[in-house]
Structure 1
Amino acid sequence: MAIGFDFGTSNCSVAHIIDKQVHAIPLAQDELYIPSTMCAPSREYISEYIYRCLNISPSDTAGENLLRRAININQQDGLEVHSDEVFFGQEALDLYLDDPRHVYYVKSPKSFLGIIGLKDTQLAFFEDLVCAMMTNIKQKAEAKLAAEITETVIGRPVNFHGRKGDESNRQALSILNKAASRAGFKHVEFQFEPVAAGLDYEATLNTDKNVLIVDIGGGTTDCSMIQMGPRWHGKFERNETLLGHTGRRTGGNDLDIFITFRKFMPEFGFGSQQLSGLPVPIPQFWNCIAINDVEAQRKFYTVENLRQIKQLWKNSGHPEKLNRLIHVHQDTLGHSLVREAEKAKIALAGQESHSAMLTIGKENLMIPLTPEAITTAIEEPVNKIKRLIEEVLVQSAIKPDVIYITGGSARSPILREAIKSVLPNTEIVSGNYFGSVTAGLARWADLCFR
C-alpha cells in the first residue's frame, strides 16, 4: 500500500487513494494532523528508544557511535528506556508546557536538516528524531488501515533551511530518505510540496490555467508557476508544465519568532542599555526564541551564556527585565514564548485586540497586541515572501490566471493582503490549508506505485 506523507514543519499528515478519491488517514483518534513534536526524558533517551523499543538499528557507523554513547550516558544517569516515556504530537507539547525543565522537547526537526557543518553524530541524531516520528505515524496509519504500508511519497520544500543551497537540500533529503527506510518504507519518492498542492487543486479544474501556487508552511514558503488542467490529468511526466519554481526558509515559525522578538523581547530587556550606556547585545534576545535554529538554541542554553546573562543583569539599567531573561534560560521557556506569539497571531486574524499572557517564574506578564502591531512585527519575513512571488513571475515571464494559496500560515489575512499587493487583479483561491499538500502527495503516490 502507498501513501502520501506530509512530514511538515508544524504538522504531519498522511493520505491514500481509494477508487480515485483521496482519503486522509486519522492519526490521533479522529485527528488528521499530528503536531511535529516529540519529547523524552533526555536527548540520549531517543536514540536508545529507537533501538530498544522499535527494534530499529542505526543506518551507519555514525549512528552506531551515537547509540553506544547514548546507552552509556543513560546508564550513568540511571535511566532505563521504556516506550511509554516517549511522546509525540499534542501529548509531547502538553508535557513540555506543563514542565519544560524536565523533558527534552523537539519541535519541527525538519527545520534542522539542511544545516551544513555539523558532526556526523549530530546528523545521525537528526536522523533518529525523524525516524522515531515517522515510525510513530506509520504505525498509527497501519493500525487504522489494518494493512502494511510499504511505499510513500514524501513532500519536500523547494529549499530546506540551510545556507548552502543544493548541498543543504541533498543533506536534508538524505536524512529523510534514510529515516523513512529505517521506519519500514520499502520504496520512497519525493515531490515538491507546492507541486503536490497544485495537483490537488488541478483535480477541480475543468479548463487549463496558469496557476501560481503559494505554499506558506511552518518552516518554508514555496512558489511555483504551473500549467494545470484537464490536459495533464493523470500524467506522470510534468516537467514541461513547471514554468517557475522558488522557495526559501521563511514560514509561519518565522512570523511567530518575529512577533516574539519585536513585541515580547522588550519586556526581557531588548533595546535597553547597560549602566555603561552600551546596549544589551541583541543575540541574547534572538537566540533564545530562534526555535528553528539549532545552533542559536545551543548557544543560548549553555551554562557559560547563563553567566553572561547574569553579568548583564548586574550591569543593566533595567535589571527586572533581564531577570526575566534569566528565567527563560533556567526554565527553558523559548518554545513557550513563541507558542504564545503564535496564539496571538491566530487570535488577531479575527479580532481587533488580544492580550498575550506570559508566565515568567512567579510573574504573569500581560502584553496587549493589535493587528497593526502584528503587521509591523512581521514586515521583514512578509517582504521576503513577496519577493519570492516576484521571482517566480520573472522566471515564468507570464501572469497567472489564478493564485492558489495553501499551507497553515496562508490563513493569515496579513499574508493574503501581501500576496494581493503583488498581483492586485488576479483571483486568489484556497483549498484545504492543511490538507492540500497531503492530498496531492497521495495522488502522486498513486501514480508512482501503481
Structure 2
Amino acid sequence: MFVGFDYGSANCAIGVMQGEEVSLVPLNGDAKYLTSTLYAMDRDLIAEAVLKQLPKDQQAQYTHLRSAQLSKAAFARRELDLLPHEPAVFVGDAAVEAYLEMPDEGFYVRSPKSFLGATGLRENQIALFEDIVTLMMMHIKSAAEKSMAATNGKITHAVIGRPVNFQGIGGEQSNQQAEAILTLAANRAGFVDVDFLFEPLAAGMDYEASLDEDVTVLVVDVGGGTTDCSMVKMGPSHIDNRDRSVDFLGHSGQRIGGNDLDIALSMAAFMPHLGLGSLMNNKLPVPSKPFWNAVAVNDISAQREFVTLNSKRLIEDLIKDAQQPALIKRLLKVQKEQLGYQLVRSAEQSKIALSSDSSVDTPLGYIDTGLHANVTEADFESAITMPLSKVESLMREALEASGVKPDRIYVTGGTARSPAIYKRISGLFPEIPIVVGDHFGSVTAGLTRWAQRVFA
C-alpha cells in the first residue's frame, strides 16, 4: 500500500486513497493525528526499544552499531527496577502523559523533526535522533496498519513531507543529513521504499485538486517547526504531470514555526512571573539567558546548558543577589524539575485558546501553588512580532525568487489557525485573495496523492 506520511514537527499523520478522495488513518483510537513527542525513562532505553521491534535479519547489525547504548539500557532497566518486557519508552499522547507525571526523571523530546539537520551534531547525537525517528515511525506505521487491518492494509511505500530547509543554517548539507536520518529510520521501520516532497508543494497539490482553472498560487505553510513558501503553477493543465519541476517557480523556507511562537509567548507572558525583567540589588536587570535556555526546546545547545550544574549554580547566585528572590526561586524549580517543556506546552495551549477567545487565564500551579498568567490577544501579537516578521520575509523571498505575482495565496499548517498570523499575512498583500486550507490535513493529503503517482 502507498501512503502519504506527514512526519510533522507538531503532529504526525498517515493518508491513504479511497477512490478519488484522501482519507486520514486513525493512529490513536479515533484520533487521526499523533503528537510528535517521545518520552523514555532513560534515553538508552530507546535503542533497546528499537532493537525489539526490528526484523530478525537486521538485529545483529543494529546490536553491533548500538552495543554501548544497549549495555547501558540493560543497566538502566536494573536501576529502574523494570521487568524485561515492561514498557519504558512512550510515543505521542502517552509520551506527554508520562512526561507530565515524571518531568524530572526521564528523557523527553518534543518535535524531534526540529532537530534534524542541526549543525555540529556528534555521531552519538545523530545515532540518538536516528533511533527516536525510527521508533516513532515504527509506532505510527504499526498503528496505521492496525487501523486498516480489516482491509489487509500492509504499508510498503510512503512519500514523506520535508520542509524546503530543515535548518536556517547548514544549507544543503543539513537537508541531506536530515533526509538520510528519515530514510534510514523509514527503512528500519519497515517501509520498502520512500520518496520526499516539499511540504508546501504537497499542501498546494491538495488545493489544486479543487481547481477548475489554471492559476499561480503562493503556498504559505506555517507548521509547527518550519515555515515554507512556494510559488506554484496549478490547475487542470498541470495536475496530471508527474514531473512538476517546471511548475515550481520559486521557494523559500526556514526553521520558524509554531514552536517559536510558543517559546516567544512563554518568554513574554510567563517568564516575568519567574523573575525575567526584575532587578538585581545592584540595579542591573536579571540576565535573560537562563530564562531563554529554559524554554528554547528546539535548541539543543540551550537545553543542554540549562540542565547543567553550572546553570543551577548561576540561578542560585541570582537568587542571593536579586531584589525579588522569590520569583527567581520559581526559575530554579523549573531547572531542577525540568519543567521547560511544560511551560512551552502551556504557551501552546494559550495560543490555541486565543484562536477563539480574546484572553485566557493560564494556570502555572506546577511551578508555584496558585500561580497563573493572564494572556490577551494583544500580548500574543506583541510576543510574536519577530517570528512573524521572518514569515513575512519568507513570503517576499518566494515572490522575488519566482519573479511573478500570485493570483492567490493559499495558507495552511496548524500554526496558521491563529487570527494574529492570518491578519499579518492578509495585511501584507491585501489585494490578493487568500484561501485558507485544512490547517492540519493539507500536507498529508498532497503527499498521499503524490504517492500514487510516484509508486504506481
What residue in structure 1 maps to residue 439 of structure 2?
433
- C-alpha distance in 2 between matches for 1:242 and 1:61: 44
Quickly say closer, same or farther: Cα 1:100–1:76, change in 2 above 3 A: closer
The 8 Å contact of residues 413 and 439 in structure 2, kept in 1 or not, is answered as yes
- Give how far 1:230 is off: 0.2
Q: 1:98 aligns with which of 93, 96, 101?
A: 101
Matched, 1:121 2:124: yes
SS at match of 1:266: helix
Matched, 1:174 2:177: no
Determine the structure 2 residue equivalent to 1:263. Answer: 269
Distance 1:214 1:314 in 2: 48
Q: Give the Cα separation in 1 of the matches to 2:367 and 2:207.
A: 48
**Counterpart selection for 2:383 from 377, 380, 402:** 377
Letter of the structure 2 residue corresponding to residue 18 of structure 1? Q
- Render the CA deviation track for 1:377-398: whole Å, top value 9, x for unaligned: 1000011001111111111121
Q: Superposed, which structure 2 residues align to 1:129-140 within 5 Å?
A: 129-140=132-143
One-letter code aligned to 1:101: D
Shift of 1:228: 0.2
Mapped partners of 2:276, 2:84: distance in 1: 41
User: For the structure 1 residues 171 and 136, does the alpha-carbon distance in structure 2 shift closer, same or farther, using more than 3 Å as the test?
Assistant: same
* CA distance, structure 1, for counterparts of residue 312 and residue 48 of structure 2: 30
Alignment partner of 2:420 out of 414, 422, 432: 414
Q: 1:162 to 1:121 in 2, by over 3 A?
A: farther
Residue in structure 1 matched with residue 27 of structure 2 by the alignment: 27
Distance 1:198 1:61, change over 3 A: farther
Q: 1:210 aligns with which of 216, 224, 231?
A: 216
Which residue pairs with 1:301 in the alignment? 307
Provide Cα deviations, 1:85-107, integer angstroms capped at 9, x if missing partner: 32221121122223312332221
Matched, 1:321 2:327: yes
**In percent, how many aligned pairs have the same letter?**
45
Given that residues 200 and 229 in structure 2 are in contact (C-alpha distance below 8 angstroms), is that contact kept between their aligned partners in structure 1? yes
RMSD: 1.7
Is the contact made by 1:324 and 1:360 (CA closer than 8 Å) also made in structure 2?
no
Quick one: distance in 2 between partners of 1:2 and 1:63?
Answer: 31
Match of 1:232 among 238, 243, 250: 238
Corresponding residue for residue 87 of structure 1: 90
Match of 2:52 in 1: 52
Contact 2:13 2:33 in 1 (8 A): yes
Alignment match of 1:160 (pick from 163, 166, 170): 166
Query: What is the DSSP-based 3-state SS (H/G/I as helix, E as strand, rest coil) of the residue aligned with 1:188?
Result: strand
Structure 1 unaligned blocks of 5 or more: none
- What is the CA–CA distance in structure 2 between the aligned matches of 1:22 and 1:355, rounded to whole Å? 38
What's the TM-score once normalised by structure 2's chain length? 0.95
SS at match of 1:288: helix
User: Deviations for 1:163-212, whole angstroms, at most 9, x for unmatched residues?
Assistant: 21111111111111111111011101000000000110000000000001
- Note the C-alpha offset of 1:115: 1.1
Q: 1:305 to 1:155 in 2, by over 3 A?
A: same
**Tell me, what secondary structure is at the counterpart of 2:394?**
helix
**Structure 1 residue 278, shift from structure 2 partner:** 3.3
Pair 88,67 (structure 1): closer, same or farther in 2 beyond 3 Å: same
Aligned residues between the structures: 450
TM-score, with structure 1 as normaliser: 0.96
Q: Does 1:195 align with 2:201?
A: yes
Shift of 1:49: 1.5
Counterpart residue type for residue 12 of structure 1: C
Q: 1:408 to 1:83 in 2, by over 3 A?
A: farther
Cα distance change, pair 243–101 in 1 and its aligned pair in 2 (3 A): same
Of 18-27 and 228-237, the range deviating more from structure 2: 18-27
The answer (yes or no) to whether the contact 2:42–2:76 under 8 Å persists in 1 is: no
Q: Secondary structure at the match of 2:251?
A: strand
Question: How far 1:80 sits from its partner (Å)?
Answer: 4.7
1:54 and 1:42 mapped to 2: Cα distance?
20
Matched, 1:145 2:145: no
How far did 1:347 drift?
A: 1.4
Distance apart, 1:30 and its partner CA? 1.2
- CA distance, structure 1, for counterparts of residue 63 and residue 406 of structure 2: 46
